[in-house]
A and B are shown apart, each in its own frame.
Chain A
């Protein structure tokens, strides 16, 4: 339902759906049969970790693939940006989280892609052996 008149309406009528981008995304970032990316995080339900040697680059790549051709993008000053996809899925990219390692984060609030769950993904630095 629309909310009224004004200049801020971001109705997701154009652009790609999240599901349109899923094939390329899962080619680079596999999706589990239960609908999650990465491995279970320690934060509990819906928190995931993708452990990589270059977290900032991989987080950027993930959100670029997931959010290709969005209906809208809003920059969040000093934090990242938030994208709306045509199917109503909302993707939030944060340069860093409040965790000790300040790992970058991509949040997926899924709408219309039943095979993928709403989740918050931390991109965590791989420990060098």
Chain B
């Protein structure tokens, strides 16, 4: 069975954790589609420094070793306090004010196990979303469907309604793939 793991590593989690307790002044994004889909990177500005979340395409085995697809992979790094510049897309960066203190940061990881004729052939684990928790709600950065090169940003008080329904992308489709069964798992890791 092919296994790939694109979840955040410990150093990524340590970076995120260091921002708990900070106040988010704003975030920057080059909005590529709708009013909530940022092209590749979102920069979060806090009173403890800035942080980039990026969704870039990686070529990974989706089913079998010799069959690959471009799949969005989330990553994070500390960033400069400068306004984000995204050269690749022909739109200006927008600055979205926030002004709220982070009380927790959660990372949401998903695992898809693909079974072909009853045999597990592929297991892919990845970080789907990062959730900033405030006293009165959430700010969510979600990588959306598997081929997206964008980050969907949403704010609100009901977390479930802010997350992309990734599980629905991995429901069985017996008319198209009668031999294929998907097992979907989700875990939420609180860094508090």
Contact = CB atoms under 8 A, between A and B. Distances in A.
Contacts of A82: 32-33, 39, 89, 150
A97 B34 contact: no
A98 B37 CA distance: 23
Interface residues of A, number: 43
A90 B34 contact: yes
Contact of B87 (A33, A77, A107, A109): A77
Contacts of B170: 45
Q: By DSSP majority rule, is chain A's interface helix, strand, loop, or mixed?
A: loop
Given A3-B153, A74-B91, A47 B69 contact: yes
B59 A98 contact: yes
B33 A4 contact: no
Interface string A58-90: 000000000000001011111100111000101
Interface residues of B, number: 50
A83 B30 CA distance: 14
Interface stretch (B14-22, B46-54, B92-100, B127-135): B92-100
B39 A1 contact: no
Contacts of A77: 87-90
Contacts of A114: none
